[in-house]
Amino acid sequence: MRLCAARVMMAADQEQGENKRRAPRLRALKAGRIVFHHGGSTIDCTIRNLSATGAKIALEQALLAPDVFDLQFQDGTMRPCTVRWRKLTEIGVSFDDG
Q: Where are the alpha helices (DSSP H) in 1-98?
A: 2-19
Ordered by where they begin, the domains of the chain are 25-95 (2.40.10.220)
pLDDT at 14: 47
The answer for residues whose C-beta is within 8 angstroms of residue 52's C-beta and 6 or more apart is 23, 95, 98
pLDDT at 62: 94
In residues, how long is the chain?
98
End-to-end Cα distance, the chain: 45
Q: For 18-43, write each residue's pLDDT tens digit.
A: 455 566 777 888 999 999 999 999 99
* Phi, psi torsion values for 62, nearest 5 degrees: -60, -25
Q: Which residues of 22-52 are buried (b: 16+ CB within 10 A; e: fewer)?
A: eeebeeeeeebebbbeeeeeebebebbbbbe
pLDDT at 28: 80
Q: For 40-91, write each residue's pLDDT tens digit.
A: 999 999 999 999 999 999 999 999 999 999 999 999 999 999 999 999 999 9
pTM of the model: 0.74
